[in-house]
Amino acid sequence: MKIKLFYFILFYIFLTNIYAHTKPINITIVSPNNDGNDFWGMVHKIARASAKDLNINLKIIYTHNSNNFTYLDPFEKAFKTKDKPDVVMGIFFKSIENETLNLSKKYDTPVFMFNSIIPKKERNDTFSREKNKNFIGYMHPDEEYAGYVLGKHLIKVQKNKNPNKKINLIGMVT
């Protein structure tokens, strides 16, 4: 019993010391739209809730436009702010991947990109951590697979609603 109590106290002291000295991480998201946008508003809401749960200081910078040249300005603003973030997050937007990574390198701030994909022809050493130590990585949705799953679900729902009725389908590719 004394040994268990000893380990419990040791474990408690260890955990208390770890969490007592950790400071919140500062993350800045560069967003192409504001909270009023259906999709990006939802992304911001989830990011804020996650940041609160994980004790992260979150700042969101809105670009409010679709111009690939002015989209870099908010990134640079995020990188060179007085309260420099630990990580800048955003999307690879309209073929400015290299410029974004160059800013990350210039200001020595890690960058993580999401909701965007690097075209296969452009995936090269530039996007490796060996060549760009500040590039954490990127995450993108598999929209083709999502469409497949959605299509299967809609067919199943329709078959359940009207089991004897013919189902007409149309496919679209963008």
The CATH number that applies at residue 107 is: 3.40.50.2300
> Which residues have C-beta within 8 Å of that of residue 151, sequence separation ≥ 6?
169
Domain count, the chain: 1
- 56 falls within a domain: yes
| C-alpha Rg value of the chain to the nearest Å | 23
Highest averaged pLDDT of the listed ranges 38-52, 62-76, 139-153, 158-172: 38-52
- Span 55-59, average pLDDT: 92
Which residue matches tokens 């149309």? 170
- 96 falls within a domain: yes
Confidence of residue 10 (pLDDT cuts 50, 70, 90): very low
Highest averaged pLDDT of the listed ranges 65-74, 99-108, 117-126, 135-144: 99-108
- 154 falls within a domain: no
Integer Cα distance of 123 and 87 in angstroms: 22
- 78 falls within a domain: yes
The residue range of the domain holding 70 is 21-142
- 173 falls within a domain: no
- 72 falls within a domain: yes
Does the pLDDT of residue 121 top 80, yes or no?
no
Helix (H, G, I), strand (E, B) or coil at 31: strand
Q: What is the pTM of this model?
A: 0.70
- 110 falls within a domain: yes
Provide the token pair at 26. Answer: 């500062």
- 89 falls within a domain: yes
pLDDT number for residue 123? 62
